[in-house]
Amino acid sequence: MALEGVTWAVNAGLLNGKGNGILIPIGNATRVEVAQILMDFCENIVE
């Protein structure tokens, strides 16, 4: 489920919201935000 995936990503430090920990699931991510998520995933999750 999506909730499980988002919960994992938040707990892993990949997602932290748009400020004050607020996630906007129907919003759009900018190119910079997606790049940061991918870079964090590659540096911190993939071994």
Query: Could you count the other beta carbons within 10 Å of the beta carbon of residue 15?
Result: 19
What is the band of 40 on the pLDDT scale with cuts at 50, 70, 90? Answer: very high
The stretch 3-30 carries a mean pLDDT of 88
Residue for token pair 């909730």: 3
Q: Give the CA distances from residue 5 to residues 2, 33, in Å, rounded to whole numbers and listed in that order.
A: 5, 17
Model confidence band, residue 38 (pLDDT cutoffs 50, 70, 90): very high
The alpha carbon of residue 23 and the mean position of all alpha carbons in its chain are separated, in whole angstroms, by: 9
Quick one: average pLDDT of 17-26?
Answer: 83
Cα-Cα end-to-end distance for the chain: 25
Report the pLDDT value the prediction gives residue 42, as an integer from 0 to 100. 95
pLDDT surpassing 90 at residue 12? yes
Return the domain boundaries, the chain. 2-44
pTM of the predicted model as reported, rounded to 2 decimal places: 0.76
Average pLDDT of 15-39? 89
